[in-house]
Structure 1
């Protein structure tokens, strides 16, 4: 076994604009490619519909107009933006290079291959493939975006990797996993780029496992689930920040109404003013038709005494105006401090807890599955 450090970075986004416009001498004419088969393979690539995170839509329109915007829907925009930034990078990079005609099709491996194309905006070459998975693989297809210092295919290193079983009828349905490894991209630049000392690059890894389709118990309903993880992430926009570790579980269930949910966990300083001690924070929320909803948050560790836990419940209306909020500090399971604003009855449906309403949470996810994603996000993918 050898460890493949799978990577990608925003710096590679510009690689494909020029490469895609060039006609590689080895590229077969369109008539030599089975376009129906190619379209089937391209469906393996992830879409924003499969991976994108939602926040209550009312926030965007109402947050500047209402007198008291709800706290957690507002803050969820930063969470959704962080997730969608990674997702957009993966989707766009893969689409940029695979939207052109493939260079070759290998009938022995059932693989479409693009490139290698010279990187006119940086060092080395870029390439991509989509191929059938092995008979014992978890997914029907696998794909990768690759970087290399020259055009030797044997030396190419994956920079985005994933596997998927698409739905032939709906491009936003299916199941898969995708990995964006900023660390390997950094390692590639460090090894090959003489100007590495002057580069600012993202750090860490992002991995997401997703499933979307009709509810097996109700074909008229759509269910979408995404489990995503950032490990040791430092954004290119804030390179001096402490590495962040975040776990997300989000998605929606839609029939007559649409219920979106988001559950995330992280460690950071929530004290105001900041005291440099990171609390373990969890925030869970659900909202109806991208509006009315409820959030439940908790924090422990950090500035809180041993055995203490802070708990918040918030409700909001369709305009994303806060209708109720409560704050409790518990010690040994007993409330030692409490405060609230608003009328709890105004929560309506959301007077019931998210557990009682059956809203999915990170606690519902198999711990073994979370451990696998944690391993991949920390160390990359192990390949045979």
Structure 2
């Protein structure tokens, strides 16, 4: 059974398996626990939107080609959030005052393969995050033997439902391993592969509290989407952020991925990095680079692109770098057309993956590579 079908399973069996609410459940307390589950809006990057119909210039290359990747990430994240929200919306099976946690299940899976359960626990400050949550699967209804396939921690802002910090892991490999070991009808091609781990946060800017900021740092490891089971496993590092003032909104996206960008494609993946920034979901700038793959050891390709409010390209430049010097350059348009974005993203103080703490990235890489054991 896929992770995305577990919510349906729980909804079907909840009426039969959940304990009746005899009034002993503190609904206000339960609501604060449920707030630990991150929202789609908190973890998903919005699509860039043209503010007018495109009239001049071709559609900008990097927003156009990057959006399917961002959409795929949003889809994976959205499925996870739908799943968690569906579970915790059900009446909990039990509240454990010793551990201060609500537990849902264990309930039989609708395909007859094992059991599923979930919990949200208040750590009371003894861990990095105020609350911990997990979705678990196992061969029996012994809660202690179940394995987490979704795990996370969160510290919501009690004064603002849209603010707070948290971390989450979606372990598609643990789910697959369970299905392979316990499902006699296991289909190797079914279901997503790999692991997704993310750290996210949103709140007021401490230096300018009238402004709001949000970010997501995420990694996919050995990711193979369910709709492309023959695809090569992909590793992806991803950093998204938004800064909101009374006048403007700045969005930025920075990702690194190994992918074949040769034209024509030759089946050999290059190491590709793409940074983009958008002003008010329109005008913006991209900076990209590629190395390795079909390029020589001393070669890299660098690109800069700008676009207007209709996401129509206003400037594009490609540079072939050999041994640190520009060997060839091709450009179209005038850099002056970039307006504010004539300046580099570094000069505009747009954050990048390189700004993320190295120890934090190593920790995300570790859990996305190896998974976790729920506390």
> Could you say what the CA RMSD is over the residues aligned between the two structures, in angstroms?
1.9
Where structure 2 has 5 or more consecutive residues not aligned to the other structure, the ranges are: none
Tell me whether 82-91 or 9-18 shows the greater mean CA deviation. 9-18
Using the alignment, how far apart are the partners of 1:77 and 1:325 within structure 2? Answer: 18
SS in 1 for 2:160: coil
Distance 1:306 1:169, change over 3 A: same
Q: Number of residues paired by the alignment?
A: 374
Which digits, 9 at most, give the CA deviation of each residue in 1:112-137, with x for residues without a partner? Answer: 11112222245222211000126431
The match for 1:295 is: 286
Q: Alpha-carbon deviation of 1:293?
A: 0.4
1:259 to 220, 226, 250: 250
Q: Alpha-carbon deviation of 1:238?
A: 0.8
1:268 matches 2:269: no
Which digits, 9 at most, give the CA deviation of each residue in 1:125-175, with x for residues without a partner? Answer: 221100012643100000001112232222222121000000112222100
2:85 to 71, 95, 113: 95
Q: TM-score scaled to structure 1, two decimals?
A: 0.93
Where structure 1 has 5 or more consecutive residues not aligned to the other structure, the ranges are: 1-6
Which digits, 9 at most, give the CA deviation of each residue in 1:287-334, with x for residues without a partner? Answer: 011111000000011111111110010000000000110010111221
Q: TM-score scaled to structure 2, two decimals?
A: 0.95
Q: 2:172 touches 2:192 (CA, 8 Å); kept in 1? A: yes
Q: 1:312 touches 1:326 (CA, 8 Å); kept in 2? A: yes
| 1:82-121 superposed matches below 5 A | 82-121=72-111
Using the alignment, how far apart are the partners of 2:227 and 2:374 within structure 1? Answer: 32
1:375 matches 2:366: yes
Tell me whether 8-17 or 297-306 shows the greater mean CA deviation. 8-17
Q: 1:315 touches 1:323 (CA, 8 Å); kept in 2? A: yes
Distance 1:30 1:53, change over 3 A: farther
Q: 1:15 touches 1:122 (CA, 8 Å); kept in 2? A: no
SS in 2 for 1:373: helix
| 1:90-169 superposed matches below 5 A | 90-121=80-111, 123-133=113-123, 135-169=125-159
1:58 matches 2:50: yes
| 1:192-203 superposed matches below 5 A | 192-197=182-187, 200-203=190-193
SS in 1 for 2:162: coil
The match for 1:3 is: none
Q: Alpha-carbon deviation of 1:66?
A: 6.6
1:37 to 24, 29, 43: 29
Using the alignment, how far apart are the partners of 2:192 and 2:227 within structure 1? Answer: 8
Q: With CA pairs under 8 Å and 6+ residues apart, which has the higher RCO, 1 or 2?
A: 1
